[in-house]
Amino acid sequence: MLKYFLFIVSFLFIIGCKKERAKPQYQAVNVPIKAPPTASKALKNVIQQFEDSLLHAMQTEGFPGAAFAVVENGEIVHSKGYGIRQAGCPEQVDSATVFRIASLSKGFPSVLTGMLIQDSLLNWDDQISQYVPNLILSRTSARDSLSIRHLLSHTTGLPRHTFSNLLNMGVPYPDILKKLKEVRIAHPPGTWYNYQNVAYSLIGDVIGKVVGKSYAELLAERIFLPLGMHQASTGFYALQASENVAAPHLYDGKKYFAAKSSNNFYSVLPAAGVNASIQDMAQWISLMLGHHPDLLDSLTLQEIEREQIAVSPRENVMRAWRPLETSGYGLGWRTATKNHTRFVFHGGFVNGYRAEIILLPDQDIGMVLLTNSNNQFVGHSLPYFLNLVQGEIVR
């Protein structure tokens, strides 16, 4: 009987909505924040062009919902929702609607680590074995030299996406860690970039060991609450508990349809476990552009955002940006230079959600886009935004 009840609850979470069929309305809704007088005219032009293109893409591609925010000089100059939370339902996306942000989550543990370094509790080059003594790798020398910096820059020496397939299968994170000893070390730690989810999340174990609190608790205490990220949370059940949440969607070749919300990848909170609204993410951008020195000082921020390892521009995630003068990975963030403009960015995709974020530190501008589907527009959104900025602002 209990299993049947849980099935019904899960089913309603996916398809429950008002009986009347939704009429897609691709316009901005429930917007409490308008561009302040301090927003530059050039950036307003960029925002308008980006918004027009987003609305056009939603009409032509038919994807259900999105939200994007822009921050300039520490001010939120745009924060809006578009479309609907779930196909077939009338509830609209607004600036407080919660999405999974997938691998945009990777930026948070590097900031938490930086805060603990400011507190003299950690160092970037501390060895992981000091905090996770039960970690076993196939090569003892790799285990002994593996550092916090290596985790956060994806230079662990493990093959790319080691055991991400087991996360998709729902295998618990602690069980996957035990299997790392079976994996051949491809490169000495610190010498080669290979993207990770499982190994990256060891930083959560390190943080928990140092502070005596869970990674989720410290994230809320040190980042969500001080920044006023009121809708932000971690984990599957927190997402389900949100009253204003965007449902994930898949594409069947003809249309987007609401999919079952999955707890896959929530077992690796540092890699992919954050849920947030566009309002929340705008506050996050303000921090990452250096406007909260009381939380994160400039030297720590510079270390997080500087290139730690070069990444080939032939990487799939870099192809839309080419040509590039530089491309690399920092600590939880990708780094690049295009047409002499330095920028920091990241993307994320998981179980019917996709998100993108870009920071332009020298122009003091940032933009984040959240969607409840994997669509064509979001895949090209960051290069498009950068091109607009370079055309209107960077002369």
What is residue 29's predicted lDDT score, i.e. its pLDDT? 42
Residue 16 pLDDT grade (very low, low, confident, very high; cuts 50, 70, 90): low
What is residue 237's predicted lDDT score, i.e. its pLDDT? 96
Can you tell me the distance from the alpha carbon of 142 to that of 140, in angstroms, rounded to the nearest whole number? 5
3 state DSSP class of 151: helix
Handedness of CA 197, 199, 205, 210 (dihedral sign): negative
pLDDT digits (tens, 9 = 90+) for 65-115: 999 999 999 999 999 999 999 999 999 999 999 999 999 999 999 999 999
Cβ density class 36-60: b for 16+ within 10 Å, e for less: eeebbebbbebbebbbebbbebbee
Can you tell me the distance from the alpha carbon of 188 to that of 369, in angstroms, rounded to the nearest whole number? 36
Nearest to 104 by CA among 282, 225, 247, 253: 282
Q: Which amino acid is at 226?
A: P
Could you give the percent of the chain with pLDDT greater than 70? 90
Please answer whether residues 58 and 83 qualify as being in contact, where contact means their C-beta atoms are separated by less than 8 angstroms. Answer: yes
Domain locations along the chain: 111-211
Q: Which amino acid is at 61?
A: E
What is residue 260's predicted lDDT score, i.e. its pLDDT? 92
Q: What are the residues facing 231 on neighbouring strands?
A: none
Instruction: Lay out the sheet containing 99-100: strands in order across.
Output: 99-100, 274-276, 233-234
State yes or no: pLDDT of 25 exceeds 90: no
Please answer whether residues 326 and 319 qualify as being in contact, where contact means their C-beta atoms are separated by less than 8 angstroms. Answer: no
What is the DSSP secondary structure assignment for residue 305, as one 8-state letter? H
State yes or no: pLDDT of 23 exceeds 80: no
Structure tokens at 138: 């196939």
Please answer whether residues 116 and 211 qualify as being in contact, where contact means their C-beta atoms are separated by less than 8 angstroms. Answer: yes
Q: What is the largest CA-CA distance in the chain?
A: 66
What is residue 383's predicted lDDT score, i.e. its pLDDT? 97
Can you tell me the distance from the alpha carbon of 16 to that of 331, in angstroms, rounded to the nearest whole number? 40
Higher pLDDT, 6 or 75: 75
Q: What are the residues facing 76 on neighbouring strands?
A: 71
What is residue 392's predicted lDDT score, i.e. its pLDDT? 86
Can you tell me the distance from the alpha carbon of 273 to that of 219, in angstroms, rounded to the nearest whole number? 11
pLDDT digits (tens, 9 = 90+) for 255-305: 999 999 999 999 999 999 999 999 999 999 999 999 999 999 999 999 999
